[in-house]
Amino acid sequence: MPIYRLYSHGLPLAGNTSTPIDSPTRPGYPAGVTSSFAPRIIRWQQRHGRHALPWQATRDPYRIWLSEVMLQQTQVATVIPYFERFVARFSNLPALAAAHEDAVLALWSGLGYYSRARNLHAAARAIVANHDGKFPAIPDAIAQLPGVGRSTAAAIAALAFGQPCAILDGNVKRVLARHGGIAGWSGEKKVETALWQLAESHLPRTAIEAYTQGMMDLGALVCTRSQPACSACPINTDCVAFTQHRTTELPTPRPKKILPEKKVQMLLLLDRGELMLEKRPSRGIWGGLWSLPELPSDSDPAALCHDRFGFTTLTLQVLPRFSHTFTHFRLHIQPIQVQLAPRQTTLPGQIWLPPADALNAALPTPVRKLVAQLERT
């Protein structure tokens, strides 16, 4: 069965063969409520939803795809300036495919989750190579592109091509979990399966674009994580969380865990007014970006400069320590500014730039912070 099959509106939940998902008689739903979920979402979106975002008012799959990738785990307000700069530089898919990866990463610098940029670039090249430069319109084909999952592919197919596909991003999960009374963390397979079934059961037969945008808008503007504006919600009359006073309980949050902590020294190596940057490996944290040399927190910076690079250290200045939090760990950074004797060679994978020029490179956020401070001194 294709993953994007349009389920009938009477699809039961797993393990429940008698009561449809959106049935008025389903436990938690008030008696007499009819199934008009999608029409209410569509009407609300047309009147109250977002219509002026820079990637709206278009059926261009390139811009819709770019926005969907940028919006993964990132707020709309943060994405807008990056999106606008990106399309100003790479106005269409062939332009992106022809670009050097460094140029793509430089425009992405500061947006985080850099694998998205690398995958975006790889996907553009795959479309040129495998689809004659034409963005695929079928959801299953879109989902085969690097960095595109089921929900992102469905959003592109719905918004760009009018395909009747269900989406399940973070905002939509919250709306459906509350409205349908689905308990449990959405990262659990059985909970995610139930949410997908619910999402597919509500799909409209027309106006899929307004419905898809409406689900995202409702989660972002009304059904927010904290203090949702339930009185303004178009589906509050049959929302389990609202009618049962469970909005703080649903959706079930991710189980808390203690973030591992790591310590590292970062070296700002200076020679005749220029700063050394190193190219990081393509895989891993900050893959493909330009960064600063790192060493363990208990290592000797002068010894590293000599043994690893063949540099002679003139002065060392310890700068204020700061921290940077990733999804899976917290990094404590001890910056050290090092003045070197004039170097004799530049090794492969290194570049030397004035700090002002280094700020135009693809830098991780904490490195950009350090370089900006250096440039101001």
Query: Got the DSSP string for 286-312?
Result: TTT-EE--EEETTS-HHHHIIIII---
Contact 298, 287 (CB under 8 A): no
Residue 6 pLDDT: 32
pTM equals: 0.83
Q: Is 68 in the active site?
A: yes
Going 232 to 235 to 241 to 247, the CA torsion angle's sign is negative
The amino acid that residue 227 corresponds to is: Q
Residue 376 pLDDT: 87
Residue 265 pLDDT: 98
**CA-based nearest residue to 61, from 162, 166, 167:** 162
What residues in the chain have per-residue pLDDT under 70? 1-35
Among 178, 209, 243, residue at a domain's last position: 243
Q: How many distinct structural domains can be found in the chain?
A: 2
pLDDT tens for each residue of 50-69: 999 999 989 999 999 999 99
- Residues 163, 105 within the same domain: yes
Give the integer Cα–Cα distance in Å for 88 and 112.
20
Report the chain's terminal Cα–Cα distance, integer Å: 62
Question: Is 125 a member of any domain?
Answer: yes
CA-to-CA separations, 6 to 158, 191, 262, in angstroms, rounded: 12, 19, 46
pLDDT tens for each residue of 278-316: 999 988 889 999 999 999 999 999 999 999 999 999 999
Residue 35 pLDDT: 61
Among 182, 213, 243, residue at a domain's last position: 243
* Joined tokens for residue 136: 């695929």
Question: Is 61 a member of any domain?
Answer: yes
Q: Which domain holds residue 222?
A: 37-243
User: Can you give the length of the chain in residues?
Assistant: 377
- Residues 239, 126 within the same domain: yes
- Residues 323, 179 within the same domain: no
